[in-house]
Amino acid sequence: FLAGQRIDQFHNPSLDADAYWLELLRRDSGNVAANTGMGLLDLKCARFASAEQHFRKAIDRLTFQFTSPKNAEPLYYFGVALKGQGRNDEAFTAFYKAAWSQEWKAPSYYSLAEIAVAGNDFSSALDYVNQSLDANALNIRAYSLKAAILRHLGKQDEALDLISFASRKTDPLDVRLKAEKWLITKDEKIAGSLFTTLNTFQITAQETAAEYFNSGLWNDGILVLSTLIETSKVKSSINPMVYYYLGYFHEKIGDASKASECRKQAAIQSSEYVFPFQSEAIVVLQRAIDAIPGDAHAHYYMGNLLFDWQPDEAIGHWEKAVSLNPQMTIAMRNLAQAYSHKTGDENRPKAISFMEKAIAAGNPYPTHFAELDRLYKSAGASVPQRLAMLEKNQIIVINNDEALGAMINLKTFSGKADEAILLMKNHIFSIWEGGNAFNTGQAWTDAHLVRGLKYFSKKKYTEALDDFRMALTPPENLRAQQGRNYRQIQIAYWTGCAYDALGEKDKARQSWDEVINAGSRGPRSGFNPPGRTFGNSLLAQGEQRYYVALAKKRLDPSDNGETLFRELADAGTNTVSSQTDNPADPQFVAARRLASRDNQAMPHYISGLGYAGLGNKSKASEEFFAALAASPDFLSAKIALDSL
């Protein structure tokens, strides 16, 4: 239980609490702590029926020999699960039982007040909300609800005094308190401030609507949301969720015509940047779907809402949206992402298919090409196939840094370094931590290294030296990090080779000495490949050690480095080491979206370097080809293969 609790509290992206608590329940199906934990996880995912079952088991254990258990937490959340299913009478009983505990008095009485308001019992509701505030005098939602109760009881002056007090005590900018004040006074100045805020920040309008939803104040919600729409200067900018909530409220008061009108309007609003986020919206959207089954947008929004919580249900809604509207490319893109996260080899082709359809449907977003290329890479698609897709759509691709970066890297790999360099020179990249998977400095280095080696193979050593020098000095528009580049040792080695070919022996020796000195500083000197993780020091430093050994051999032909090269050539050791050694701290393991093919290729690449160092070109070629078979765009393997 404690292991699961720690995972849940620290939000570890690579571990789930479920497995630990389910193991505890396998050993003791009635365990209170584990059932409560699992119930809370279900509540967070809006799985109210499943949550109910877990809280029931916890309560059964707690009340086995007690009428009123000391631990009231499962009772309160049992009420939340029941209320989430619309079973208010049963929820009322659960909340009332939980309210005996001082710890759960404030939220329980607040929930009782909401249920009483929904049943038009405002007198009882006032008593409940007062008891809630007695236990927690800083509950701003309780103040807002109390103001609404007083207003419905005809105590407008008392409600205004309460709103003034609550604004000073809690939050003077709270929108719900402003809405309550406007509902009482209809003051134009208050209206101006309120509806300007609601129109500017429509997520706040959805929060306010959800509060009216939870307490069944349908007419209040209708008046606020209708006025929001009336005062909007740009009707097309209104978030469709505002209309969906308004339609639901009209339906609850029996105005089917108005409800239908609102839902039809919601369906034609722009779907850009619409991300429902409240569990209350599930009911609102489901009623819209039931009322107008052909509303593709309602299915799309439901998918957006549910994907984090109930991914399979979300996929079903997105697939329905696409079937209703084959031009809804954003839903196709979401399906591609959803299937790419599912386990099983059969899901990757589905992901690729949906992304290809999204692009083919017309007016694709630039980011779609970056995402499709990632899917292609994860499936082991060939470089020509990936590059052809990006080049065909280059006019769109250049508008997205990541897609453009993918095309640049693939051009470099394909021997089009001149084109890659030109693209980098003519584009200003937006770089921020975690914001872009494209490493601009590394791409610049790679392109110049590839072009420099091409010049070297043609015995154009001066031109090669120019590229090697430029490789480590990216232009300002790339906004690249200076001084840390894992190819620095490799470039220094080839720089020495170019000087040697030109007969400048001292400069050659200087470059090779630089390689050896840098190698002695180890991986902390900045030569580890960015964006790639390897198992142990052999794998992390294999390439670095290889070029150090070559430099030593250049300076002293008697130092053939055979022991090192044989160590690198041991592919079996490389593979085992990459899988077992030096595990990362589980608290800081990053969640992987797609399996890394580079990690499969790296042991073959390191082994190929070893064989190359031993002079066994046949075995080296075999290993480099194996690396490219595992990861077709593995540039280091291609560079090494071309250099044999």
- In tens, the pLDDT along 417-460 reads 999 999 999 999 887 766 567 889 999 999 999 999 999 999 99
* Each residue's pLDDT tens digit, 315-374: 999 999 999 999 999 999 999 999 999 988 889 999 999 999 999 988 888 999 999 999
In this predicted structure, the answer to whether residue 70 has a pLDDT above a threshold of 90 is: no
Is the separation of the CB atoms in 386 and 408 below 8 Å? Answer: no
Confidence at residue 572, expressed as pLDDT on a 0 to 100 scale: 56
Tokens, residue 595? 């399996």
Q: Does the global pTM surpass 0.85?
A: yes
Report the C-alpha gap between 474 and 83 in whole angstroms.
60
Which of 429, 417, 534, 425 shows the shortest CA–CA distance to 481?
429
Confidence at residue 361, expressed as pLDDT on a 0 to 100 scale: 87
Across the range 87-99, mean pLDDT stands at 97
**Mean pLDDT rounded to a whole number for the chain:** 91
Output the CA torsion sign for 471, 476, 478, 483: positive
* Each residue's pLDDT tens digit, 183-226: 999 999 999 999 999 999 999 999 999 999 999 999 999 999 99
In this predicted structure, the answer to whether residue 527 has a pLDDT above a threshold of 70 is: no
Is the separation of the CB atoms in 414 and 446 below 8 Å? Answer: no
**164, containing H or E segment:** helix 156-169
Is the separation of the CB atoms in 608 and 618 below 8 Å? Answer: no
In this predicted structure, the answer to whether residue 566 has a pLDDT above a threshold of 50 is: yes
Report the C-alpha gap between 516 and 117 in whole angstroms.
78
Is the separation of the CB atoms in 565 and 610 below 8 Å? Answer: yes
The rounded Cα 611 to chain-centroid distance in angstroms is 41
Report the C-alpha gap between 167 and 144 in whole angstroms.
10
Which of 313-317, 486-490, 564-568, 585-589 has maximum average pLDDT? 313-317
Report the C-alpha gap between 605 and 625 in whole angstroms.
9
Give the contacts of 282 (CB within 8 A, at least 6 positions apart).
Answer: 46, 302, 305, 306
End-to-end CA distance of the chain: 57
Confidence at residue 432, expressed as pLDDT on a 0 to 100 scale: 73
Out of 69-73, 112-116, 153-157, 587-591, least confident range: 587-591
In the chain, the amino acid numbered 186 is: K
